[in-house]
A = this chain, B = another copy of it.
Amino acid sequence: MTGVSDLTKEQKIMQAAERLFLEKGFALTSTGEIAKDAGCNQALVHYYFRTKDRLFETIFQKKITVFITDFMQIGGKRIPFEEKLRRKIEAHFDMLDANRQLPFLFLNELITNPARIASVKENFGVLPAKVYRQFSEELEKEIAKGTVRNISPLDIVLSVFSLNIVVFLMLPVFREVFGMDEAAFRELADRRKKENVAMVLASLRP
Contacts and interface: CB of A to CB of B under 8 A. Distances in A.
Interface residues of A, number: 39
By secondary structure, the A interface counts as helix
A120 interface: yes
A61 interface: no
Give the most central of A112, A120, A161: most B CB within 10 Å.
Answer: A112
Interface in A149-206: 155, 158-159, 161-163, 165-167, 169-170, 172-173, 176-177, 191-192, 195, 198-200, 202-203, 205
Nearest to A203: B199
B155 A166 contact: no
A180 to B, nearest CB: 11
Contacts of A176: 110, 114, 117, 121
Given A177-B124, A202-B203, A111 B172 contact: yes
A36 interface: no
